[in-house]
Structure 1
Amino acid sequence: MFKKIALTACVLASAASAETLADQAKAMGLAPIPKSTTELYKLIDNPKNPMNAQKVELGKQLFFDPRLSKSEIISCNTCHNLATGGVDGVPAAIGHNWAHNPHHLNSPSVYNAVFAEKQFWDGRSPDLEDQAQGPMQAAPEMAAKPEHVAAVVNSIPDYVAAFRHAYNDQKMVPTFKDIADVIASFERTLVTPSRFDEYLRGCDKALSKEEKAGLQTFIDKGCASCHTGVAVGGGMQPFPLMGKFKYMGVGDFKGDANGMVKVPTLRNVEETAPYFHNGTVWSLKEAIKIMGETQLGVKLTDAETESIETFLKALTGEKPVVEYPVLPARTAKTPLPDSGK
């Protein structure tokens, strides 16, 4: 189910300075993606939706299947493109009938989403299973009713057989929830270990001197107070906190009922522009400076900004190999596409 990845062959660090910096990072809550497949499974599996290879493969097919949308031209991969950092690369998500997200919200990356504490910018979903149900139904996204999604899947014998095999239930009739669950099972495997993970595990040479300096700046300036954990983000924080966000007027999103906004993962951040909830910033350097002003109340120098950026690029990870699936053919019972409102 997972590709074996060898990022860096190295001897564990022995230099006190390297150990001290790694210890500082871990003390701030930063944690590596487990190298052991067994340990990784413990971290990414959902006891309420236990993973298996069959669910993951079926979820991959459905992740790429546009027939789950009302128009039958939009798939999960449309907004969470696995070839482009798990995002669509536009400021606001575009969905059914070319509708822009009404709140001007940017599509977060699906890579490493499993490590986040909450899903969606307002944190309204507790896990990927619940989150997967949202975009399929949302009018400006895939715009499909649960009945449509279930009807598509149940009209295709190969899908029904795959569900029955995955759940070991030869009488199973897949429901909308079952479909979201297997999509989530696939998404749970989209983790991207990087050289930073090797460094936290004690491999001193996994990061360059400049990247370590950037990590030190990242810690010293307070970035790790919010961007922490395995996701290097994924929690909920007030935004803006210390200063005005100059692009706050783009879109009407103000966070949850308490003004809290999900902290995006910084893994693969160099691949996920544009930045912020409303996709208003294309430059990573500008995003770093804005975060210093709005969240930390500090004006970062150009040198500090470049140092942090150098570290952040070390969070670009190895992507799992995902072979584009050949989908089973529709049948006479498969609902027809509807491009209407």
Structure 2
Amino acid sequence: MAEKNYYDILGVKKDASDADIKKRYRKLVRQFHPDVSDDPDADNKIAEINNAYETIRDKDKRAEYDAMLDNPFASQGGAGGFGGQSAGGQSGFRWEDMKDQFGDGEAFGGGGFRFDDIFSAFGRGARGSAGAQSSGTSGGFDQFGGGFGAQDSKGQDQHAEISVDLASVYSGDDYSIKLNVPVRKPNGSVDYENKTLKIKIPKGITDGKQIRLAGQGAAGHGGGKNGDLFLKVKITHSDNIRLEGADVYQTLNIAPWEAALGDKVNVTTPTGTLGVSIPKNSKSGSNLRLKGKGIPAKHTGDLYLTLNIVNPEVNTDEAKQAYEQLKQAFADTSIHR
């Protein structure tokens, strides 16, 4: 696989979509992961697969890599300086080859810039080649952040979901989570280990928002930084509550006489126990708005108490008689059906 380009390594066409590349990568990881594969070379293969994927999954790196594949001076093996071999290796291009193609170092037409100037700007160092120097770096392209080298690529970002109680969102809280995270071994293979992370839940975060934990994603390749971990927040709450952004809607059950006569009741809400006045002649389904009592986000939401009139069950003679009296008292009431 070492002589193949990154598309060959992953087994996809050069014009493959991001979705197809990701699908193929996952399949190869499952196939060659050292924990499940019987292949004696599984460690090297999984490192090679990860190296290829880290380049062509990134839009900018992929564009650079494609340009390199199309470059007539690129490595004949197609791997070039993208982690497989340095641009100045035996299959790379040489300064002398550039001069043979374009002259003795002068610019096109005899004026303007010189190729010497170009490679000086790239930090070429020794005149002999534009590739790796004795220090082991990727040579002239180091000045551009290793653009042609995937040896030091950043690890993949990881995504997970965390369930957070609504009360914690109102106050902010500390959570501990356990994750099975990928860790890259010195030989380039990937192993998994359990990790416990302590997380501060930001006060006022809303459902579906993400918490970013820098450096807690997959391990980087070579000297590259670790990826980040993104936790999608799923707010949990009781069945009588629903959320709309920072607004909270809570169903409040009341008795018929409380709705008819009005009353003051104590209600347990996510923000604490509140005394609420029920207006006279309240109807089932109407909302009582408590301004600023919703989720304390950047723009604080409101708490809406949706009234639900609950009729007591008639399971005694006294209760039946009370309903009969009520019926007689409101005999002239006309109800639109």
Higher relative contact order (CA 8 A, sep 6+): 1
**Larger proportion of helix:** 1
TM over 0.5: no
Give the TM-score taking structure 2 as reference length. Answer: 0.22
